[in-house]
């Protein structure tokens, strides 16, 4: 029998309630996973499961919730992704060529095609992000060995697990590489708390727009 672990987390929905002083946490929201029950506590009380975070705001049926699952610590896990693949034959919204596949050129006509195309997502819970080599980088791209004939210096295929959308009031940067924070206005210990909160709010707002336009392939500004 698997142990019944009990997770307690905080979450901010799309919006910036996380930046106001925390009220006394309410009972929280509960969801089941393979280990038992996960509990999320919000300083705003109960989580609005109909809010923008859970809505499809793009064109490919995805929402933030597609890759930030309540019962998976507000991220994803390979076990959960494989279960969704088996349940939908690889047609769940998380399985999209834009970033869920090993390459946007992958073939996804059959279930077996999709199993191969989404192998990084299925085995490691990783989403593909295309990023060019930045100017001034201390390395260069010498050669490429890509069976999909896609990756290049203009768009390296980088794979990473979606960051948990929880406890965001405590972060000092946004995204794995901090690219959503304006380098002209970083969050620093020299700033006042109000200044850092304003920078964080602006950075998260920009990140939510980029996520909708990119991962959800949105074509209407939020």
pLDDT for 28: 66
What angle (nearest 5°) sits at the alpha carbon of residue 205, between those of residues 164 and 38? 25
97 domain-assigned = yes
195 domain-assigned = no
Gap between the Cα atoms of 189 and 157, Å rounded:
34
64 domain-assigned = no
DSSP notation for 163-217: PP-S-GGG-SSSSTT-TTS-TTS---TTS-HHHHHHHHHHHHHHHHHHHHHHTT-
Gap between the Cα atoms of 33 and 101, Å rounded:
25
Q: Provide the domain count of the chain.
A: 1
**12 and 18 Cβ atoms separated by less than 8 Å:** yes
130 domain-assigned = yes
- Per-residue confidence in pLDDT tens, the chain, 222 aa: 443 333 334 443 333 333 233 334 345 678 888 888 888 888 877 888 899 999 999 999 999 999 999 999 999 999 999 999 999 999 999 999 999 999 999 999 999 999 999 999 999 999 999 999 988 999 999 999 888 888 888 889 999 999 999 998 889 899 988 999 999 999 999 999 999 999 999 999 999 999 999 999 999 888
90 domain-assigned = yes
142 domain-assigned = yes
What does pTM read for this prediction? 0.82
156 domain-assigned = yes
**Which domain, by its residues, includes 116?**
76-161
101 domain-assigned = yes
Provide the 8-state DSSP code for 97: T
Residue bearing tokens 């930046």: 19
pLDDT for 27: 57
């Amino acid at each position: 029998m698997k142990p019944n672990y009990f997770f307690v987390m905080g979450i901010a929905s799309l919006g910036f309630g996380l930046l106001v002083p925390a009220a006394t946490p309410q009972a929280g929201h509960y969801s089941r996973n393979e280990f038992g029950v996960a509990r999320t506590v919000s300083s705003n009380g109960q989580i609005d499961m109909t809010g923008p975070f859970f809505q499809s705001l793009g064109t490919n049926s995805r929402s933030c919730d597609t890759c930030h699952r309540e019962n998976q610590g507000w991220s994803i896990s390979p076990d959960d992704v494989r279960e969704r693949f088996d349940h939908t034959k690889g047609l769940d919204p998380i399985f999209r060529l834009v970033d869920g596949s090993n390459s946007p050129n992958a073939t996804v006509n059959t279930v077996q095609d999709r199993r191969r195309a989404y192998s990084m997502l299925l085995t490691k819970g990783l989403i593909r992000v295309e990023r060019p080599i930045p100017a001034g980088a201390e390395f260069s791209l010498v050669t490429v060995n890509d069976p999909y004939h896609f990756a290049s210096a203009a768009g390296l295929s980088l794979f990473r697990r979606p960051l948990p959308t929880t406890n965001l009031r405590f972060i000092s940067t946004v995204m794995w590489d901090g690219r959503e924070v304006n380098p002209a206005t970083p969050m620093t210990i020299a700033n006042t708390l109000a200044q850092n909160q304003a920078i964080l709010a602006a950075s998260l707002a920009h990140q939510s727009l980029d996520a909708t336009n990119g991962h959800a392939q949105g074509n209407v500004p939020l």
